[in-house]
Structure 1
Amino acid sequence: MVETKPHLGWYQPHSLPHFDSPEATQFVTFRLVDSLPTNFANPIDRMELNRRQIERELDRGLGACWLGMSQIAHLVQQALFAFDQERYRLWAWCIMPNHVHCLFETIEGHRLGDIIRSWKKYKALRANRVLQRDGAFWQRDYFDRFMRNEEQFGRTIDYIERNPVKAGLCRHPIDWKWSSARFRSGE
């Protein structure tokens, strides 16, 4: 049994601010350690760049793209499913070759950072074993945005599930194996 903790509200543990609140629906992006060019590595530089620029860079598929390997993508997808309905409610997700998008609602007593840390920690160890490597797998920080209304919620699901199409990886959202679009369509 995981100990529940009080939520933190607005906080900034690393370079990006985060919002942790019970029953907040969050859009989160976390990425592989080598997924952005080195000029994006400095948090100050990243803050000056517009979010769309960063998204374009991620969609270019830079880095080793370990998440493009079915065995690694499957590990990550299983992590997303692991505590669905217990610690969070998973609404949408997409595992891209070098980053992950997900939309979920936190459940009282389960902090945003703890949820993401649990996804990343265990799967990084397993993925590194599969890849026969050591070292950092995920970028330390993550991006999150809480949903303010139903319209934003719907647009975010559409963005997440269309990301592989936008990146040129498939023609239709349901064609991407590592996304909620296939589940939503019943395939």
Structure 2
Amino acid sequence: MQYRRAYQPGGRYFFTVVTHRRQKLLTPPENIIKLRQAFRHVMNTHPFTIDAIVILADHLHCLWQLPGNDADFSTRWMLIKRHFSIQFHTPTQARREKAIWQLRFWEHLIRDEEDWQKHMDYIHYNPVKHGYVKQPAEWAYSSFQRAVKQGLYHENWGMGEEPKRVRGMELE
């Protein structure tokens, strides 16, 4: 079966990117710095905006908006992964890649505002779902606090029970 990606200029996308064999290497503070540097580096040459992001120990989720004339998220992910990976002194594998990331990633083209909000909620609730914290506001490695400042959420959102919009979603 041939997998075909949905490329849409100016599209909004949800992504899941996972480390190789689910290594828990993303959340040490020095690696968060490296990952942020990788994103900034790529955004300088291949612009896009990040609507939401969460970084967990072995994977990350994010929502991007691409420029109106550009649909090439694959190159952006290749460059982010590469820029992050070159900062590690690990041997390369048969395909001359370091064993830092899974080879592929999951993407979903956002269809409308409701779909966007559902994926925003999924991103921000993810640390609670995985048992890292009791509410999204407690997780340092996400855009939740920025979303609160933008008025998209209240500070205690996601505390107590799983939000309705994310029930049954499994995007790992």
Q: Which range, TM-score by smaller chain?
A: 0.7 to 0.9
Number of aligned residue pairs: 142
Q: Take 1:104 and 1:145, find their aligned partners in 2: how far apart are those partners?
A: 10
Q: Which protein is richer in helix relative to its size?
A: 1
Equivalent in the alignment of 2:32: 73
Residue 77 of structure 1 and its aligned partner are, at CA, apart by 3.0
The alignment status of 1:159 with 2:146, answered yes or no, reads no
Residue 85 of structure 1 and its aligned partner are, at CA, apart by 10
The answer to whether the Cα contact below 8 Å between 2:51 and 2:63 also exists between their aligned partners in 1 is yes
The answer to whether the Cα contact below 8 Å between 2:10 and 2:70 also exists between their aligned partners in 1 is no
Equivalent in the alignment of 2:144: 181
1:21-57 residue CA offsets vs partner (Å, 9 max, x unmatched): 211100011110111xxxxxxxxxxxxxxxxxxxxxx
Equivalent in the alignment of 1:118: 79
Q: TM-score, normalised by structure 2?
A: 0.74
State the secondary structure of the residue aligned to 1:101.
strand
Q: Take 1:153 and 1:160, find their aligned partners in 2: how far apart are those partners?
A: 11
| Pairing of 1:121-140 with structure 2 (within 5 A) | 121-126=82-87, 128-129=88-89, 133-134=90-91, 135-140=98-103
Residue 65 of structure 1 and its aligned partner are, at CA, apart by 0.2
State the secondary structure of the residue aligned to 2:119.
helix
State the secondary structure of the residue aligned to 2:102.
coil
Aligned AA (2:82): K
Q: Take 2:44 and 2:120, find their aligned partners in 1: how far apart are those partners?
A: 17
Q: Percent identity?
A: 23
**Gapped runs of 5+ residues in structure 2?**
92-97, 150-154, 156-172
State the secondary structure of the residue aligned to 1:66.
coil
The answer to whether the Cα contact below 8 Å between 1:30 and 1:142 also exists between their aligned partners in 2 is yes
| Pairing of 1:21-170 with structure 2 (within 5 A) | 21-35=8-22, 64-82=23-41, 83=43, 87-107=47-67, 108-109=69-70, 111-126=72-87, 128-129=88-89, 133-134=90-91, 135-170=98-133
Q: Take 1:122 and 1:99, find their aligned partners in 2: how far apart are those partners?
A: 17
Aligned AA (1:124): S
Q: Take 1:139 and 1:112, find their aligned partners in 2: how far apart are those partners?
A: 16
Higher relative contact order (CA 8 A, sep 6+): 1
Q: TM-score, normalised by structure 1?
A: 0.69
* CA RMSD in angstroms, aligned pairs only: 2.3
Q: 1:77 to 1:16 in 2, by over 3 A?
A: farther
